[in-house]
């Protein structure tokens, strides 16, 4: 891995540390005030590198989703079929994550969701549950 690998960007490491502590955070630009996702080294709106992480309450609605039926990687294969969604946070940007603990057929656009967290090969990632 190299320094250009996004997993080594300090803001991504910080994002994952918050997730490991059970907090969903999202980037907010200190210069223009816009939020974005995923975390990156510069604001996509104004290219400022002055980006902070803000904690979300972790609630939102399903903005869009797809159900994955193909077992394309052993990490996720045992979980197929699963729902991969874009979630519009009530207090932040649209983020992505799986909707878990339900039949994927229960997921719909506009459905309310709440963040939860799951461990995937040693990394804690945000996921969402219906309700
Ligand atoms: Zn900005």
Identify the CATH number of the domain in which residue 42 sits.
2.20.28
Residues 6+ apart with CB under 8 A from 42: 48, 49, 51
- Tell me, yes or no, whether 65 and 10 share the same domain: no
pLDDT band at 2 (very low <50, low <70, confident <90, very high): low
Angstrom distance (rounded) from CA 64 to CA 17: 27
- Tell me, yes or no, whether 51 and 62 share the same domain: no
Q: Is 75 left (phi over 0), alpha (psi -120 to 50) or beta?
A: alpha
Ligand 1 centre and the CA of 80: distance in Å? 37
- Tell me, yes or no, whether 67 and 129 share the same domain: yes
User: Which stretch, 29-38, 65-74, 77-86, has highest mean pLDDT?
Assistant: 29-38
Of 36, 48, 50, 53, give the one whose Cα is nearest residue 96.
Answer: 36
Instruction: Tell which of 19, 36, 55 closes a domain.
Output: 55
Ligand 1 centre and the CA of 38: distance in Å? 14
pLDDT band at 127 (very low <50, low <70, confident <90, very high): very high
Ligand 1 centre and the CA of 27: distance in Å? 10
Ligand 1 centre and the CA of 50: distance in Å? 8
Ligand 1 centre and the CA of 104: distance in Å? 36
- Tell me, yes or no, whether 47 and 70 share the same domain: no
Ligand 1 centre and the CA of 106: distance in Å? 37
Ligand 1 centre and the CA of 31: distance in Å? 5
Ligand 1 centre and the CA of 36: distance in Å? 9
Ligand 1 centre and the CA of 46: distance in Å? 4
- Tell me, yes or no, whether 34 and 86 share the same domain: no
Specify the pLDDT at position 103. 94
Query: Range of 118's domain?
Result: 57-131
- Tell me, yes or no, whether 75 and 129 share the same domain: yes
Q: What is the average pLDDT across 53-75?
A: 92
pLDDT (tens digit per residue) in 81-103: 999 999 999 999 999 999 999 99
Provide the number of structural domains found in the chain: 2
Which CATH number is 114's domain given?
2.40.50
- Tell me, yes or no, whether 88 and 116 share the same domain: yes
Lowest mean pLDDT among 73-77, 82-86, 109-113: 73-77
């Amino acid at each position: 891995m190299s320094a250009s690998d996004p997993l080594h960007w300090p803001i991504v490491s910080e994002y994952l540390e918050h997730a490991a502590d059970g907090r969903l955070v999202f980037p907010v630009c200190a210069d223009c005030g816009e939020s974005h996702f995923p975390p990156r080294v510069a604001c996509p709106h104004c290219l400022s590198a002055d980006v902070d992480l803000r904690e979300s309450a972790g609630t939102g609605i399903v903005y869009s989703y797809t159900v994955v039926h193909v077992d394309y990687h052993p990490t996720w294969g045992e979980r197929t079929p699963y729902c991969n969604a874009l979630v519009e946070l009530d207090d932040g940007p649209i983020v992505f994550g799986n909707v878990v603990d339900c039949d994927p057929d229960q997921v719909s656009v506009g459905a309310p969701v709440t963040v939860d967290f799951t461990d995937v090969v040693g990394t804690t990632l945000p996921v969402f549950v219906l309700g």
